[in-house]
C-alpha cells in the first residue's frame, strides 16, 4: 500500500524502500533512480518511426518558423521561436506526445496515470533563463507534472543545448506567498519573471552546478516539475536546435497556474485541459471530487438593484405589520 499517495513515487521520502515494488524493468529502474536523485533522466525515445516523424515535422514547420532548414549558412532566428500546441493540426506531433510507452513509463514512475496536455516545438534554442515548471503548471497534490524533451537532431554546445541544475527538484517549491506577491488578479506578462530573483538567490546560496544536455537525435529527457532548467546561449545562429517538449499531468488532481494564484486563500487559476490523445476534457479532481471554478462576479449594478428592492420589501413588510396592530 502506498503510504504517501499525495506525492509522486519517484519523489517519495521512502523511495528507496518502495522502488523494488514499482514493477520496473532494469532500465526503468535506472530512470527512476535518476529522477529521484537528480530530477531528470535520459532515455531513447521508444518509436520505430521517430526518424520519419521528425523529418515530416521539420518539413511542415520550417515555413511557419520562416527558416530555410536546408541552408546551413542562413540565420535560423528570423521568425518565431516556438509553436505551442501544434499537435492540434499535426499527427506526428500528437503521436510523439501520446506515445503509449512513454505514458506507461511515466505512469509507473509517478503512481498515477499520465496524460499529455501541451506541446511546444522549437527550431532553435530558447536561451530561456533557468526556471521551474512548477510556477507555470502545478497540481494539487503538488509535483504531479513533468516534461519530456525530445532532441530532433544531434545537438552540440554552440546550438543552445538544454541546461539544468541537478538535484534542484528537491529545493522548496517557490510560490507567491514565499516571495511576498499576490498572484490572483495579476496582470504580469511573464509568469516566471516575478520568481527570477528567488531562483537566482537559491542557485547562488547552494552553489549549484549547471549542466547541459548535448543530446543525440532521438534521445529524450524527463524532468521533474520543480527542476530548474532552461536554454544555454545559442552561439551559432546558423545552427538549428530542433526539439519537442511535451508536458504531462496525472490523473485525479487539480490543475492550475501558480503564478496567477493565491493558494492559501483558495484563489486558484484553474486550467481547462484536454488530453492530447483524443481531445477529451480532463476534470479538476480532488480525491475523486470535481472542483469547479468560482462563478464570475455579478455586475455591480445588481448590488444596487438588490439593495433597492431589499429596501422596498423591508418597507412593505413594516407596513403590513403596522396594519395588524391595535393602537
Q: What is the mean pLDDT of residues 129-150?
A: 96
Q: For 204-261, how does the pLDDT look when each residue is reduced to its tens digit (9 = 90+)?
A: 999 999 999 999 999 999 999 999 999 999 888 888 999 999 999 999 999 999 999 9
- Cis peptide bond N-terminal to 173, omega within 30: no
Q: All 3 cell numbers of residue 307?
A: 439593495
Residue 326 banded pLDDT, cuts 50, 70, 90: very low
pLDDT value at residue 307:
64
Query: Rounded to whole angstroms, how far apart are CA atoms 126 and 146?
Result: 19
pLDDT at residue 315 greater than cutoff 60: no
Among 64-73, 184-193, 245-254, the range scoring the smallest mean pLDDT is 64-73
> Which residues lie closer than 8 Å to 207 by C-beta, 6 or more apart?
none
> Which residues lie closer than 8 Å to 269 by C-beta, 6 or more apart?
183, 184, 256, 257, 258, 259, 260, 261
pLDDT value at residue 238:
85
- In the chain, % of residues over pLDDT 90: 78
pLDDT value at residue 190:
86
Q: Is the four-CA dihedral 235, 74, 129, 226 of positive or negative sign?
A: negative
CB 128 within 8 A of CB 230: yes
pLDDT at residue 51 greater than cutoff 70: yes
pLDDT value at residue 327:
36
What is this structure's pTM?
Answer: 0.89
pLDDT at residue 175 greater than cutoff 50: yes
Residue 306 banded pLDDT, cuts 50, 70, 90: low
pLDDT at residue 73 greater than cutoff 70: no
Q: Where are the domains of the chain?
A: 9-290, 298-327
pLDDT value at residue 188:
83
Top-level class of domain 9-290: mainly beta
- Of 242, 179, 168, the C-alpha closest to 209 is 168
Among 120-124, 185-189, 320-324, the range scoring the smallest mean pLDDT is 320-324
Q: Is 282 exposed, middle or buried (0-12, 13-18, 19+ CB in 10 A)?
A: middle
Amino acid at each position: 500500500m502506498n503510504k504517501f499517495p499525495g506525492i509522486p513515487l519517484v519523489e517519495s521520502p521512502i523511495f528507496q524502500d518502495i522502488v523494488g515494488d514499482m514493477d520496473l524493468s532494469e532500465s526503468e529502474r535506472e530512470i527512476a533512480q535518476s529522477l529521484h536523485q537528480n530530477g531528470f533522466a535520459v532515455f531513447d525515445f521508444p518509436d520505430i518511426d521517430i526518424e520519419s516523424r521528425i523529418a515530416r515535422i521539420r518539413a511542415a514547420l520550417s515555413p511557419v518558423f520562416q527558416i530555410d532548414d536546408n541552408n546551413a549558412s542562413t540565420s535560423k532566428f528570423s521568425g518565431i521561436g516556438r509553436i505551442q500546441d501544434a499537435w492540434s493540426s499535426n499527427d506526428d506531433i500528437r503521436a510523439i506526445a501520446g506515445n503509449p510507452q512513454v505514458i506507461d513509463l511515466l505512469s509507473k514512475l509517478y503512481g498515477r496515470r499520465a496524460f499529455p496536455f501541451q506541446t511546444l516545438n522549437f527550431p532553435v534554442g530558447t536561451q530561456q533563463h533557468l526556471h521551474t515548471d512548477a510556477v507555470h503548471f502545478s497540481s494539487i497534490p503538488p509535483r504531479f507534472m513533468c516534461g519530456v524533451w525530445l532532441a530532433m537532431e544531434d545537438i552540440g554546445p554552440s546550438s543552445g543545448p538544454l541546461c539544468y541544475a541537478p538535484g534542484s527538484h528537491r529545493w522548496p517549491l517557490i510560490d507567491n506567498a514565499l516571495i511576498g506577491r499576490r498572484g490572483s488578479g495579476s496582470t504580469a506578462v511573464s509568469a516566471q519573471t516575478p520568481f527570477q530573483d528567488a531562483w537566482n538567490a537559491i542557485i547562488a546560496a547552494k552553489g549549484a552546478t549547471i549542466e547541459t544536455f548535448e543530446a543525440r537525435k532521438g534521445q529524450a529527457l524527463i524532468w521533474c516539475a520543480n527542476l530548474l532548467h532552461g536554454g544555454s546561449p545559442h552561439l551559432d545562429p546558423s545552427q538549428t536546435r530542433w526539439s519537442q517538449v511535451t508536458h504531462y499531468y496525472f490523473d485525479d488532481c487539480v490543475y492550475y497556474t501558480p503564478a496567477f494564484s493565491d493558494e492559501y486563500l483558495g484563489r486558484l487559476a484553474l486550467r481547462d485541459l484536454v488530453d492530447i490523445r483524443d481531445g477529451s476534457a480532463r476534470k479538476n479532481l480532488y480525491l475523486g471530487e470535481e472542483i469547479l471554478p468560482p462563478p464570475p462576479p455579478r455586475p455591480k449594478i445588481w448590488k444596487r438593484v438588490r439593495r433597492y428592492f431589499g429596501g422596498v420589501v423591508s418597507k412593505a413588510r413594516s407596513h403590513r405589520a403596522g396594519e395588524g396592530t391595535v393602537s
